[in-house]
Structure 1
Amino acid sequence: MHDLLTPQHQPNVPVIAPPGLPGLPPTGTAPANVPGRWRVFTGDWLANGCACHLYTDGYAGELIRRWNGWAVFRTSRTVAAAIVAHRQHTFIQLMAEHAGRGKRMPDAWLATLGEFASVTWLGSLIVVDRRRYSDDETDVEITTADAEGLYTIGWSWSWDDVDAAAVHTIHGTDSI
């Protein structure tokens, strides 16, 4: 658990725009509210991760619609798995912080659930459990793959489509 608490060294590297990514539209060509275009999606929780890009991670997907101004998109199982894995890693880090401040592990788990939704796989289902976070016993969302095997991602999170050059790691460009 010690490694989870140790901040990783971030090198000070100048920002260099990557070349065009196969399958993604060139920068600035995907209008903000036009569904059906593949883009890179990220959120403010992924900002400020390194000195070379605005966002640490982004996820390739197809815009479906906007919800309260935020993007709802669909993507491959591989990309959905990367989103879930990132969320679980962040959950574990927060839980370790609680444990590091003296909470017993069960209490650290519950404290983390009060601050952060649990996102897990149950077979081919993605379960987003916000019951403790929202104090609403019905606040569970289950995402299944559609007929094309793609997962709809939104989950009431503030996703936005961004310029690919602003993202350090883009998950899913090989599946487009």
Structure 2
Amino acid sequence: MSTSATVHGGTRHHILSVLVENKAGVLARVASLFSRRGYNIFSLAVAPTDDERFSRLTIVVDVESAPLEQIIRQLDKLVNVVRISELAPEAAIERELLLATVRAEGPARVEVATLVAIFQGSVIDVGPDQVTVAVTGTPEALDSAEDLLRPFGIVELQRTGRVALPRLGARRRLTPVADRSA
């Protein structure tokens, strides 16, 4: 089993890409499994795939709360799980979205817009004394953007959690569980 993990805030994480049947209640069953077993989900994103029969869950798990092998074995027992892949950090592309409303009056408005542009983000809404910005990037880049926006005064902040796909041409690291897609 793989021992590679990303470190975020001092905690070790693994990225699991879980292909599931696109049926009502599947997400609830996955969340219930994590809750019952006391596993910590650091980030969870769900979206349909190009095949309407399936959805992909990108789950970033805290390996401090349970061994990765145990988490995978429990997920594999769920009937609607088709395939589980671990995405090694060096072989994956990860992105996250940050939306933040920031205080920005007068000259601060230009400073915020310039700062956000450095992170290839944009100002998406403007009020008399606040702006809402959007930045996408790696979790580490968003941590940096958030830290730099904080002195202006963050009014509201929302981050989506990670989504990830294997890098093109990189070897995929698959966990040793059955692939039930056949």
Please give the TM-score of this superposition, normalised by the length of structure 2: 0.28
Please give the TM-score of this superposition, normalised by the length of structure 1: 0.28
**Higher RCO by CA contacts (8 Å cutoff, separation 6 or greater):** 1
Q: In terms of Rg, which structure is larger?
A: 2
Larger proportion of strand? 2
